[in-house]
Copies of this chain bind each other. A is one copy, B any other.
């Protein structure tokens, strides 16, 4: 009914739901974006992003790791040096994310206006 077809986002086990699951938290997209150019260290991301705590950054990175989007490399030594980097899979996600951020740059004002009006 309603013309639902195979592959539709509505099916509970549909892959499209998975995309939502992956990016639908407060920091995932921001962190991925921070890894766009090249590998970065934990403290680098903390400074770069701003407003995220160490705990939450670690949590977010772990989730991204679990989803196969980011690798964690411990170079050892003292002081510690750990680098996070996009996987090949993670890089494929940057295209859609870039679209989203471009949309936001172009339409952010309209959203804010709607928020203030409503």
Known: A100-B96, A111-B22, A115-B66. A30 touches B17 (CB 8 A): yes
Known A-B contacts A1-B47, A49-B10; the reply to A19 vs B118 at CB < 8 A is: no
Say yes or no: A50 contacts B18, CB within 8 Å: no
Interface of A with B (CB < 8 Å)?
Answer: 1-4, 7, 9-12, 15-20, 22-26, 29-30, 33-34, 37, 40, 44, 47-51, 65-69, 89, 92-93, 95-96, 99-115, 117-118
Further contacts, 13 of them, CB under 8 A, given A12-B50, A92-B103, A96-B103: A1-B47, A9-B101, A10-B50, A16-B108, A17-B30, A19-B29, A68-B110, A68-B111, A68-B114, A68-B117, A93-B103, A95-B99, A96-B99
